[in-house]
Amino acid sequence: MKATIHVELPVSLTALAGCARHLALSVETPVTQSRVIDALEQAYPVLRGTIRSRQAKIRRPFIRFFACQTDISHDPPNAPLPPSVCEGHEMFLIVTAIAGG
């Protein structure tokens, strides 16, 4: 069974992938961070390695995941996302940390 998840990408990645900033991805349930990124990378292979490491699939240090006004970056990658995200009412936000110059 699949759910439609609404995802927002950083602008730099939209330029790289040639896609819109807001995407609707079909994701296997139960929906988790890992499965959202799996679906994103399958749709846009050029994003492999840019959000999480290719091999260990660990979130890159300056990438954050937000949902429902909460930073869920440190939640386990295989933990279910909040119901409002899974039901399509809230976006899963992939955000660049404020850093650099």
Partner 1 sequence: MARIRLLVGTKKGAFIFTADGSRRDWAISGPFFPGWEIYHVKASPVNPDRIYAAQNSPWFGQLIQRSDDGGANFTPVGNDFRYDGVPVTHQSDDGTPQPWAFKRVWHIEPSLTCAETVFAGVEDAALFKSTDAGANWAELSGLRTSGTGSAWQPGAGGLCLHSVILDPVNADRMFIAISAAGAFRTDDAGQSWRPINQGLVSEHIPDPKAEIGHCVHHIAMHPARPNTLFMQKHWDIMRSDNAGDNWFEISGNVPTDFGFVIDVHAHEPETLYVVPIKSDAEHFPLEGKLQVYRSRSGGHEWEALTHGLPQQDCYVNVLRDAMAVDRMDPCGIYFGTTGGQIYGSADAGDHWQTIAQTLPAVLSVEVQTLP
Q: Which residues bind partner 1 (CB under 8 A)?
A: 10, 12-13, 16, 46, 48-51, 54-55, 60, 62-63, 96-97, 99-100
To partner 1, the closest distance from the beta carbon of 46 in angstroms equals 5
Cβ atoms 23, 7 nearer than 8 A: yes
Residue 36, φ and ψ in degrees, nearest 5: -65, -45
Cβ atoms 79, 33 nearer than 8 A: yes
- Specify the residue, 20 or 46, whose C-beta has the smaller distance to partner 1: 46
- Specify the residue, 71 or 87, whose C-beta has the smaller distance to partner 1: 71
